[in-house]
Chains A and B, each alone.
Chain A
Amino acid sequence: MLRASAIAFEYEFNLASIGDPSISTGIPGGTELLLFVDAVIGSSVPEIRHAQTAVIGALRPEGLADAAGVFGNFEMMNRVAEGTGIPIAVQAIERMADTIDELGIRHFIKS
């Protein structure tokens, strides 16, 4: 989905940035958003505030409010996925094999 949306906006998206935020994302405000997620996961308030300031600078205050909402949504979705054990279709795994290997996330796929 990320690749498709990056293409839709004609961004030169770099997939490796998802696993390593020191790599340029190619998406406006993308690095600021990745570091925002890392800071919120880390739960250090000074680091979160620093990351908030960067997101506001890149994407305006509305961008930060949106980012917080999206963060919450995927905290929810990840828990629904893990709690219910919803399976990942074999076809999807095969279709995304290159992405899975590039990000090194094959061990996320549970049987």
Chain B
Amino acid sequence: MFEFKGSPVEVRDDLRNTYVEIWRHLAEPGPTLTGSQRVGLAEHVRAARSGDSSIRHDMPDALLHLASTLFRNPADVDGFMVRHAAEDAGNPMVVEIIGLVSMLAAVDGAHRGLTAELEPLPDPMDGEPTGVIAEGLKQRRTHVPMPAGPIPVALDLVPEVGQAYRDSFGPQYMTEAEMAFDDFNRIPGLNRAQIEIISSRISIHNECFY
């Protein structure tokens, strides 16, 4: 798993392990979806990005539309689209798919950057959804309910998904502790200024203020 066939360079073990963990998370039952539904959703958005919308799954159309739009072109997502999906599927399922699609975009994006073959999707694990959903969160000026705080807590309506997302930061970018240092320097690798120049340019392309 995660051999990065076609990459001109070796991939650090910690980065590889992060992607393995994302794949494990994708395959297992989530708070509202089974493993089969989660892997099916990933299959759907990958195919839709390639122009194939024939792969359908037993999920509300508005949810599939949100998922494929978010994967293909996040700038096209707006509050109306998210709320429409939430009316059909509920906020927890919407937040779960936002997390899954976003983590899939991370894995596939790194593979594109390395000109590596995309990793085949994992086999889904058996089991029913966990039903673990945070209570008492408010929808402030956001599309979905979330705790007050910065972007690392944005998915915490579904804590299992939020944790998997946060766990991926360190090897891909910096740990939350490392983010405190403007002079962070991964040796060998990139320093923080070089890391931030990449993130800034991506955000320009995605028309995202973050």
Interface residues of chain A, those whose CB is within 8 Å of chain B, are: 1-2, 4-9, 11, 13, 18-19, 21, 25, 27-30, 33-34, 36-38, 40-41, 43, 45, 48-49, 52-53, 56, 59-88, 103, 105, 107-110
CB distance from B18 to the nearest CB of A (A): 8
6 interchain residue pairs of minimum CB distance:
A85-B143, A72-B110, A68-B113, A83-B98, A73-B172, A75-B109
- In the complex, the answer to whether B165 meets A69 with C-beta atoms within 8 Å is no
Residue numbers in B under 8 Å from A85 (CB-CB): 79, 82, 141-144
Other A-B pairs beyond A8-B193, A86-B210, A108-B203, 4, CB < 8 Å: A9-B183, A48-B113, A65-B114, A79-B105
- In the complex, the answer to whether B199 meets A83 with C-beta atoms within 8 Å is no
Q: By CB atoms of chain A within 10 A, which of B74, B107, B155, B171 has the most?
A: B74
CB distance from A29 to the nearest CB of B (A): 6
- In the complex, the answer to whether B201 meets A84 with C-beta atoms within 8 Å is no
Instruction: Tell whether A40 pairs with B109 under 8 Å between CB atoms, given A19-B204, A67-B198, A80-B151.
Output: yes
Interface of A: prevailing SS: helix
Identify which of B8, B66, B197 contacts A56 (C-beta below 8 A): B8
**What are 20 A-B pairs at a CB distance below 8 A?**
A2-B193, A18-B197, A18-B200, A30-B197, A37-B198, A48-B112, A52-B114, A63-B194, A67-B113, A68-B114, A69-B173, A73-B169, A75-B109, A79-B102, A81-B154, A82-B70, A87-B141, A87-B142, A103-B204, A105-B209
